[in-house]
Structure 1
Amino acid sequence: MAEGSVMSRKNLQMLSESLAKVAKHFNKKEVKCLIRLYNDLVGEQSERRMGAGLDRSKFRNILHNTFGMTDDMIMDRAFRAFDKDNDGFISIKEWIEGLSVFLRGTLDERIKYCFDVYDLNGDGYISREEMFHMLKNSLTKQPTEEDPDEGIKDLVEITLKKMDHDHDGRLSFSDFEKAVRDEELLLEAFGSCLPDTKV
């Protein structure tokens, strides 16, 4: 590789070694491949603010095309969960750390990630309104239904009954964590925000 190329072999080696330390679930070889992929993706972006990182639309394309996600709200929240410093771009470090949890995270890491995605306004709770919006987006409408919103409201109440352990009418992180530990299927209760296991 020429010195003027995106990243010299020596730099790639150094970067993959340092990032392999933060990405517990990838080995150095995998990290190197993910760095190359990241550089290709960033290189494909338009010229505006080049070098700042992976932008929202490119990241959403990856979630949609590679991982089969279709819900706009969930994809936006996944972007925010990856973009830890909230600068509107996913840096190389955020990319590797995010994918480490997204693809191979422990149950603890996935619980935290899913909760962050579902907490739409970032206040530390999943409210009735947030549940309603996410469930409304993820459920397909039946043309025969009079008022599908009523069914969704009922579903929110059923969900709260099952998951709201402190009975305050919203889900805190500890409510969510306890519910998922009791029944792992509840991890993605409000929409698909992790890759399909077949991917």
Structure 2
Amino acid sequence: MSPTYRPPGGLPGLTSKTLFSAEELKHLYQGFKAQCPEGVAKEETFKEIYAQFFPPGVNSGQYAHHLFRCMDHNQKGEVNFEDFAAAMSTLSRGPLTERLRWVFVLYDQDGDGRISRAEFLTIAAAVFALIGPYAKPPITEQTVKLDLDNDGFISEDEFLSSCLNDDMIMASMMVLEESLAYI
């Protein structure tokens, strides 16, 4: 018998905050509680869960760290179910601009509203650790391409504008959407 579904904050509140149905939230919550019986995921647990989505030997820890950071809104070192469900909802079903804003926050590690070259390279390195050592795209050219005013930083507006007008980035967003569609 599966555990009774009792999301913190209640199901009606969570369905209004996400793009998931009540049944989808129940299923997602049961999986979350099975992996995190205390009701929150610590970073190490989150990394272990995230690593299960990749073949053995793939270094997913760096990227998982940054995903966790974005979900840990209160910066207490833990992610509760509401934060997890909200992130999954945005990334899997949210409007494209909301997904891109979420990705912008992923890159903007210090939260100052702009992406520095160092921040860009840190996330790019984490992404490349996921896809393997054979992928070596021109990181510097991509950084310059996104920095429309050439001030050394990528603002949220520059990020959104560049992403929405780049076929390769749009294709990668569609792959992300398809990979999360079964959540």
TM over 0.5: yes
Aligned to 2:62: 73
Aligned to 1:87: 76
Contact 1:67 1:195 in 2 (8 A): no
* Alignment-mate amino acid for residue 50 of structure 2: L
Shift in Å, 1:136: 4.0
Uncovered stretches (5+) of structure 1, i.e. residues with no partner: 44-49, 143-150
SS for the counterpart of 2:149 is coil
Aligned to 2:155: 172
* Alignment-mate amino acid for residue 88 of structure 2: L
Shift in Å, 1:170: 1.4
Contact 2:108 2:114 in 1 (8 A): yes
1:34 corresponds to which of 18, 22, 28: 28
Task: Please give the alpha-carbon distance, in whole angstroms, between the structure 2 residues aligned to 1:59 and 1:188.
Answer: 27
Q: Deviations over 1:86-121 (max 9, x none)?
A: 111111211211111122222112111111111233
Change in Cα spacing, 1:70 to 1:195, as seen in structure 2 (3 Å) is farther
Asked which structure has the greater CA Rg, the reply is 1
**Corresponding position: 1:116 with 2:105:** yes
Contact 2:90 2:99 in 1 (8 A): yes
Aligned to 1:59: 46
Task: Please give the alpha-carbon distance, in whole angstroms, between the structure 1 residues aligned to 2:176 and 2:76.
Answer: 24
* Alignment-mate amino acid for residue 182 of structure 1: N
Aligned to 2:16: 21
Uncovered stretches (5+) of structure 2, i.e. residues with no partner: none
* Alignment-mate amino acid for residue 111 of structure 2: G
Aligned to 1:146: none
Task: Please give the alpha-carbon distance, in whole angstroms, between the structure 1 residues aligned to 2:122 and 2:159.
Answer: 17
Change in Cα spacing, 1:171 to 1:100, as seen in structure 2 (3 Å) is same
State the identity %.
Answer: 22
